[in-house]
Amino acid sequence: MQKIANYINGKLVEPHSGKYIDNYNPATGQVYAFIPDSNSQDVSQAISSAKKAFPRWAALQNSERAKWLEKISEGIHTKLEMLAKAESIDNGKPLSLAKAVDIPRARDNFKFYASAIMHFASESHHTQEGMLNFTLRKPIGVAACISPWNLPLYLFSWKIAPALAAGNTVVAKPSEITPMTAYLLSEICVEIGLPAGVLNIVHGLGATTGNEIISSHEIDLVSFTGGTATGAHIAKIIAPKFKKMSLELGGKNPNIIFNDCDFEAAIKTSLNSSFANQGQICLCGSRILVQRGIYEKFKTEFVNQVSQMKVGDPMNDQSRLGAIVSQSHFQKILSYIDLAQQEGGTILTGGKRVQPTGECKDGWFIEPTVIEGLDQQCRTNQEEIFGPVVTIQPFDTEEEAVALANSNEYGLAATVWTTDLNKAHRCAEHIKSGIIWINCWLQRDLRTPFGGMKNSGVGREGGWEALRFFTEPKNVCIKY
Ligand code: NAD
């Protein structure tokens, strides 16, 4: 069985302890590879090599760093098919999704930041005659980049690319649940001869390896994407040290559908925004709010189409939903479906485990599930389930829809379906979330700020925001 290696100081190396963690294929429920169980020695070696590599990397011209990012991007492009297959096996997502979204977006993240760093400029302020301020933006040092399992290579690269482009060196840890494509990325870095220590990838558990990374006094900033509880823990460690941190956390996103929406488009996109990647995208809309005038019509059509979505082998092109990422997450989702029923909810479709025949019979599959009859304050509507489970509820007025959208501790994304431009603008203004989609979902422009409000995080990724995060601004005031 394949053993994944750490990537430290330009080399693929075994963990010091010689210990490994099981890596499961969620579609079969079987172990198919082993992940390094990295300890403090591995982490400190990775951080030292990043520290050593920093001055030279930071001193390169932007155009030279951009060339390295281009090479990584090309390496991903060349291996797109293989990486997509690896992502699908590791995560359980349909191969078609990994091919169309995950891997192309990972490739594009490196390409985008190779170009962005060439256009990045900082402000200058002409204060008065004879007095000029300008902002000098310098790379900071060793960036710790920690990412989750739902969009493994895509979110991993979303941090690493701007960190490197801005001139930092990186110690990165992918999720221990989906480490494979991060490992394959390190193989690409070895193949292209990326200078030693510029990027280090250390595998292992969050509570041990991850915690060692963020607790080190030698790292200079942290970019984290994952659960809100983990984010709070990281903030407790990093905040007293006054280091920069960006936290992209959980969500419980509303999907608001007004009477005057484009009905067909709202149905079609809501199927995707509810169940893409088995509902395991932080931007998925898990609370569907439908205006009373079209509530029954929308519900009937939506439930009808959801019940026809095929769940099964991620390698099969016909599968709209693949497997849930891990057994513990699978059990957590099923327990929320039980809870929803205890709270008085009615399952309109789904709600059960799926057991395909053949190779996938022991895999962790769940039917796409729609639940009705719950009030806004119940746990099912307040807590992040992060699976193929949505609730649906009616509302009467725009004010009520906005209030329902906001009555949650999260504030990552919201979707609004209306053909009334003024209403769309009012909703965008009053809904408390970092991203608002109007009549669309998951459209991507890499220049836009990405991140959440409230318990969904602190800081923004994407475009200039990421390059600002990964640099330290210094104001220089000149009298001339
Ligand atoms: P998680 O918080 O359990 O783990 C995320 C990463 O943090 C993993 O690499 C893990 O090993 C590491 N980690 C865990 N404990 C750590 C510690 N003490 N110190 C350092 N690192 C530690 O999250 P998850 O289950 O992998 O991912 C699912 C969550 O991620 C969901 O809540 C989802 O909403 C969120 N998410 C948010 C965004 C966003 O952009 N806001 C994007 C994707 C996923």
- Over residues 71-80, the pLDDT tens digits come to 999 999 999 9
Q: Is the pLDDT of residue 123 over 90?
A: yes
Domain that residue 427 falls in = 254-447
Closest CA to 150 of 107, 186, 101, 196: 101
Mean pLDDT for the stretch of residues 344-368: 97
Q: Are residues 202 and 261 in the same domain?
A: no
Residues with CB under 6 A from ligand 1: 146-150, 155, 173, 175-176, 206-207, 210-211, 214, 225-227, 230, 233-234, 248-251, 282, 384, 386, 412, 452, 456-457
Instruction: Give me the active site residues, please.
Output: 248, 282
Q: Tell me the CATH number at 416.
A: 3.40.309.10
Rounded CA separation 143/201 (Å): 12
CATH code, 69? 3.40.605.10
Which alpha helices (DSSP H) does 62-170 contain, by range? 62-78, 80-91, 95-97, 103-119, 152-165
Same domain, 314 and 243: no
What does pTM read for this prediction?
Answer: 0.97
pLDDT at 178 over 90: yes
Q: How far is the CA of 154 from the centre of ligand 1 (A)?
A: 14
Q: How far, in Å, CA of 128 to CA of 110, rounded?
A: 40
Mark whether 236 and 269 lie in a shared domain.
no
Query: Pairing state of beta strands 389-395 and 353-354?
Result: unpaired
Q: Do the Cβ atoms of 189 and 72 come closer than 8 Å?
A: yes
Distance 228 CA to ligand 1 centre (A): 8
CA of residue 230 to ligand 1 center, whole Å: 6
Q: Which residues contact 264 (CB under 8 A, 6 or more apart)?
A: none
CA-nearest residue for atom 40, ligand 1, is 248
Please indicate, yes or no, whether residues 443 and 314 belong to a single structural domain of this protein: yes
Rounded to the nearest integer, the mean pLDDT of the chain is 98
- 378 and 465 share one domain: no
**448/12 Cα distance (integer angstroms):** 35
- Total domain count, the chain: 2
The pLDDT score that the predictor gives to residue 121 is 94
Read off the tokens for 378: 């119940």
pLDDT band at 457 (very low <50, low <70, confident <90, very high): very high
200 shares a domain with 142: yes
State percent of the chain over pLDDT 70. Answer: 100
- Residues 233, 355 within the same domain: no
Same domain, 151 and 44: yes
Which residues neighbour 441 within 8 Å (Cβ) at sequence distance 6 or greater?
Answer: 269, 272, 273, 283, 285, 415
Nearest-angstrom CA–CA distance, 231 and 272: 27
pLDDT of residue 444: 87
What is the residue with the minimal CA distance to atom 35 of ligand 1?
Answer: 226
Adjacent-strand bridge partners of 256: 289, 416
pLDDT of residue 311 exceeding 90: yes
What is residue 43's predicted lDDT score, i.e. its pLDDT?
Answer: 98
Is residue 162 domain-shared with residue 278, that is, in the same domain?
Answer: no
Q: How far apart are CA 91 and CA 105, in angstroms?
A: 16
Model confidence at 425, in pLDDT bands (50, 70, 90)?
A: very high
Instruction: Examine the domain organization and report whether 435 and 463 are in the same domain.
Output: no
**Same domain assignment for residues 373 and 471:** no
Confidence of residue 258 (pLDDT cuts 50, 70, 90): very high
Question: Tens digit of pLDDT for each residue in 188-236?
Answer: 999 999 999 999 999 999 999 999 999 999 999 999 999 999 999 999 9
